[in-house]
């Protein structure tokens, strides 16, 4: 078993080297694709399989496809906004559109606070799980310490020094995910599915599934890379990231289903249940996923924390400086960590991003009302679905 782990480890290191090679790293389209891709598959990859298997069993693959189609539809709205809304905003002439976008930014500010809390909560949970720490409240304490350190760095030093760390973390995450998918493929080829697979889907789980939208969130980051990339590159990179992440998620759920059939999880589902089931794929899989978890969650939290500081500054019309914003964000995250469990925060974050997507749909509807009826209707339908997530999404209960 350890020999297999060494082989997979060597492959992961090779992939990190390939992704870090200047010929790949310096391509504008790839650089623009990596940012949303890393965000989309960052944490969802860790929680998707256990949660969907518990909620829908054999139907997990269909639920995942539905979530991905929903996400791609929202992504299409945002791609239209990059092409048609941004030029209108630059002209500063449409007062109503400016108001919608301001509301959108406020919603995104709240969503980022929730996502930072979620990322760091998951980061701490994996540390507690892998080291088998039994003390009550340890997850919250670790999360609080990390948030205080981030606020300190943000206020006194800034986050420029962490940019290279973030890129390296993304490469590690993508490499481990690729290796784990390959290992799952070999597991499926080496094992036979049981003759009878119990399958069930309870309609009452739909609100909970709606509350898992954050699993496939992250593509909207392309909208805010305008200072670095053209509209054409951002549209293309977002589409690439969504198509690639959709493929990864569908293959992941499809291949992981056999593991659950042969080794059903016992006890309550937790945010780190993937560690318990991954050990059946190959001996070192839990360690691989732990490395992916801590690097990806910390890098994603840093990115959202730093970006939200600038967003708070803009939303407040420069009344709150970026440095002071970091303190407010950290305080809000600490409050959430000590007030709610991880699944409640996941649901709140999904609602926060759904509200932001709803306002993006409103912007698209406003611009396309007279010039493109089909796009207007599509934006309306997607907007209604986003609003349903805000109103009816519920947290998972183990």
Boundaries of every domain in the chain: 2-392
pLDDT for 78: 94
Poorest-confidence range of 101-115, 176-190, 224-238?
Answer: 224-238
Report the distance separating Cα 314 and Cα 320, nearest Å.
8
CA distance 79 to 243: 14
Average confidence (pLDDT) over 22-31 = 80
Range of lowest pLDDT (149-158, 193-202, 310-319): 193-202
Contacts of 371 (CB under 8 A, 6+ apart): none
Average pLDDT value for residue range 184-209: 83
Q: Which residue has the higher pLDDT, 261 or 168?
A: 261
Six token digits for residue 130:
């892998």
pLDDT for position 104: 94
- Judged against a pLDDT cut of 80, whether residue 198 lies above it is answered with no
Q: Is the pLDDT of residue 197 over 80?
A: no
Mean pLDDT over 316-326 rounds to 90
Measured at the CA of 273, the angle between CA 270 and CA 274, to 5 degrees, comes to 145
In this predicted structure, the answer to whether residue 160 has a pLDDT above a threshold of 80 is no
CA distances (Å), origin 355, targets 20, 67, 109, 250, 393: 36, 16, 11, 26, 12
Higher per-residue pLDDT: 90 or 189: 189
pLDDT at 228 over 80: no
Average pLDDT over residues 98-117: 93
Instruction: State the Cα–Cα distance between residues 123 and 298, nearest whole angstrom.
Output: 7
- As its CATH architecture, domain 2-392 has Up-down Bundle (1.20)
Integer Cα distance of 303 and 311 in angstroms: 12
Instruction: With cut-offs at 50, 70 and 90, classify the pLDDT of residue 318.
Output: confident
Residue 211 pLDDT level (bands cut at 50, 70, 90):
confident
DSSP state of 216: G
Residue 317 is predicted with a pLDDT of 86
Q: How far apart are CA 151 and CA 153, in angstroms?
A: 6
Helix extents (H) in 283-397? 285-315, 322-339, 342-368, 373-392
Across 112-125, average pLDDT:
92
Q: How many CB atoms lie within 10 A of CB 30?
A: 15
- State CA 266 to chain mean position distance: 27
């Amino acid at each position: 078993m350890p020999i297999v782990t060494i082989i997979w480890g060597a492959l992961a290191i090779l992939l990190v080297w390939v992704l870090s090679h200047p010929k790949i790293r310096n391509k504008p389209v790839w650089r623009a694709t990596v940012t949303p891709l890393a965000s989309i598959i960052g944490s969802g990859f860790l929680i998707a399989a256990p949660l969907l298997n518990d909620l829908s069993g054999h139907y997990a693959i269909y639920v995942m496809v539905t979530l991905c189609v929903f996400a791609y539809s929202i992504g299409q709205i945002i791609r239209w906004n990059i092409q048609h809304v941004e030029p209108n905003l630059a002209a500063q002439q449409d007062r109503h559109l400016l108001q919608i976008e301001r509301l959108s930014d406020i919603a995104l500010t709240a969503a980022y606070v929730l996502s930072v809390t979620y990322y760091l909560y998951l980061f701490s949970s994996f540390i507690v799980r892998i080291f088998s720490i039994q003390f009550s409240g340890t997850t919250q304490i670790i999360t609080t310490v990390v948030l205080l350190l981030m606020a300190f760095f943000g206020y006194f030093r800034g986050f420029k020094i962490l940019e290279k760390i973030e890129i390296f973390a993304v490469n590690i995450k993508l490499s481990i995910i690729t290796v784990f998918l390959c290992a799952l493929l070999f597991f499926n080829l080496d094992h036979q599915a049981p003759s009878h697979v119990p399958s069930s889907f309870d309609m009452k789980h739909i609100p909970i599934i709606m509350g898992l939208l954050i699993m496939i969130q992250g593509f909207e980051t392309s909208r805010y890379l305008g200072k670095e990339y053209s509209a054409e590159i951002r549209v293309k990179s977002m589409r690439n990231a969504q198509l690639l992440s959709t493929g990864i998620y569908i293959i992941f759920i499809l291949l992981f289903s056999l593991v659950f059939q042969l080794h059903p999880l016992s006890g309550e589902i937790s945010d780190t249940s993937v560690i318990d089931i991954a050990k059946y794929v190959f001996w070192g899989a839990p360690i691989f996923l732990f490395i992916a978890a801590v690097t990806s969650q910390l890098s994603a939290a840093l990115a959202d924390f730093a970006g939200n500081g600038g967003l708070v500054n803009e939303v407040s019309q420069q009344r709150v400086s970026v440095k002071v914003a970091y303190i407010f964000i950290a305080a809000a995250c600490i409050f959430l960590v000590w007030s709610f469990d991880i699944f409640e925060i996941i649901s709140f974050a999904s609602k926060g991003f759904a509200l932001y997507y709803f306002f993006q749909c409103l912007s698209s509807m406003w611009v396309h009302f007279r010039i493109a009826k089909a796009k207007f209707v599509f934006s309306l339908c997607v907007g209604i679905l986003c609003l349903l997530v805000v109103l009816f999404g519920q947290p998972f209960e183990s």
